[in-house]
Amino acid sequence: MTARRDLWAGLAWTSPFLLGTVVFLLIPAAMSLYFSFTEYSLIEPPLFVGLDNYRHMARDGLFWKVVANTAAFALGSVLVGTPLAIGIAALLEARVRGSSFVRAVVFFPTLVPIVAASIGWMWLYAGEHGLVNRLLALVGVRGRDWLNDPATAMPALIAMSLWIIGSPVVIYGAAMRDVPRSLYEAADLDGMGPATRFCNVTLPMISPAVLFNVVVSIIWSLQVFAVPAIMTKGGPNEATNVYALYVYRTAFDYAQMGYASALAWVQLLITLALALIVVLGARRFVHYRS
C-alpha cells in the first residue's frame, strides 16, 4: 500500500515533466517522422510520398553543400576548440596570480546572449572599421572582409565559436583539480618533466571529461544555427549555409515541411551515429578510475 502511494506521489510530482516530454517532444517528434514521408507545406494536408523526400536528398546539390559546410564547422570548432580549452584550463590550474580573474573572463562569453555576441563579432570583423582589421593594420597586415569573402567567412565563424569556450574550460579545470596529488608526486619521483607529466598523468585522468566535452561539442556544432543566421545568413555564395539553417529555410521559406522533416531526421541520425562512433572509439583511450 505504501509502495503504491509512493509511486503515485512520485508520478504526481514528475507529471509536469512527463507531460511536457510527451506533449512537446515525443508527439512532435513522432509527427515530424510521419511528415518526413509526406509532401507537406503546412497550408495543405500532408500527402504520403513514401521515401521520396529521402531519395531527393541524394540529388539535392545544396544538401551536400550544407553537409560539407556543417562538417567543416564541426571539425574546426571541435578539433581546435578541444585542445584550446584543455590548454587554457591547464594554464588556469597552474595557480598563477590572477588566474581566478582570467577564469571569469574566459567564462564570461558563455553568459552573453548569442544574438548579442554575433552582432558584436560582426562589428569586430567589419571590413574597414572592424577592430580585427585595425589591429592587423598596426602590424602592417591588410585585413580582409572576413564575413563577406567566401574563403574566410567559415573560418571567421569557427573562430567566433571558439570565443564561447568557457563551459568546457570550467569542466576541464574541475577534472584537473580532481586528479590525485599522489599521481603527480609519483611522476615527480620518476623524473617526469611538465610536458610528460601532462601527457601521461593529467590527460588520461581527465579523459572522461574530454570525451564528454567532445561529444557535446559535436552535437552542438552539428546543430549550429543562430551564429550563421545572424552573421552571414548562409552567404556569401552559400559558404556558411549550414544544415540547421537549410532545414529552417526549407520548412518556412520554401514551405516544404515534409522535406525539412526528412532533413531533420537525417541530421538526428548523423548526430547519433557520430556520437556513438566517438563514444565507442574512445573506449581505448578513456580512463575511468572506478
Partner 1 sequence: MSDRAESTLHLTRRTALGALAAGAAGWALLPSRPRSHAGVPRGRTEITYWEKWTNREGEAIQAVVDRFNQTQSRIWVHRIPVADITSKAMVAIGGGDPPDLVGFFTYNVPQFAEAGAIMAMDEFDGLRDGLPPLDPDLYAPAVRRLLTYRGRQRVGVNTCYTLGLYWNRAHFRERGLDPDQPPTTLDRLDELGEALTALAQDGRIERAGFLQNMPGWWPTIWPIFFGADVYDAEADTCTIAGDACIRAYEWVQATARRFGPEQTRSFMAQFGRSNHSAQDPFISGRASMIMQGPWMANFINAFNPGLDYGAAVFPMADELAGAGVLPGLLEADVLAIPRACPHPEEAWTFFKHMQSVGVQEALARAHCKPSPMRTTSPGFAVGHGNPFVGAFDAIAKSPDVKVLPQTRVWKQFSDLSISAFDAIWSGADVPTELAALQSRVNDQIATDAARRARRSRA
Residues at the interface with partner 1 (CB under 8 A):
2-3, 5-6, 9-10, 12-13, 39, 41-44, 47, 49, 56, 61, 122, 126-129, 142, 144-145, 147-150, 235-238, 249, 252-255
Instruction: Give min distance, CB of 60 to partner 1, in A.
Output: 9
Instruction: Give min distance, CB of 117 to partner 1, in A.
Output: 16
The grid cell for 54 is 529521402
**CB closer to partner 1, 157 vs 218:** 157
Sign of the dihedral defined by the CA atoms of residues 22, 25, 31, 37, in that order = negative
**CB closer to partner 1, 142 vs 181:** 142
Cα Rg of the chain (Å, integer): 24
Sign of the dihedral defined by the CA atoms of residues 251, 256, 257, 261, in that order = negative
Q: Is the distance from CB of 206 to CB of 218 less than 8 angstroms?
A: no
Instruction: Give min distance, CB of 260 to partner 1, in A.
Output: 12
**CB closer to partner 1, 122 vs 203:** 122
First-residue to last-residue Cα distance in the chain: 38
Q: How many CA atoms lie within 13 A of 151 on its CB side?
A: 2
Give the bridge partners for 38, in sequence order.
48
**CB closer to partner 1, 39 vs 207:** 39
Distance CA(1)–CA(7), nearest Å, equals 10
Instruction: Give min distance, CB of 227 to partner 1, in A.
Output: 15
CA distance readout (Å), 165 to 32, 174, 179: 33, 15, 22
Instruction: Give min distance, CB of 128 to partner 1, in A.
Output: 6
**CB closer to partner 1, 42 vs 104:** 42
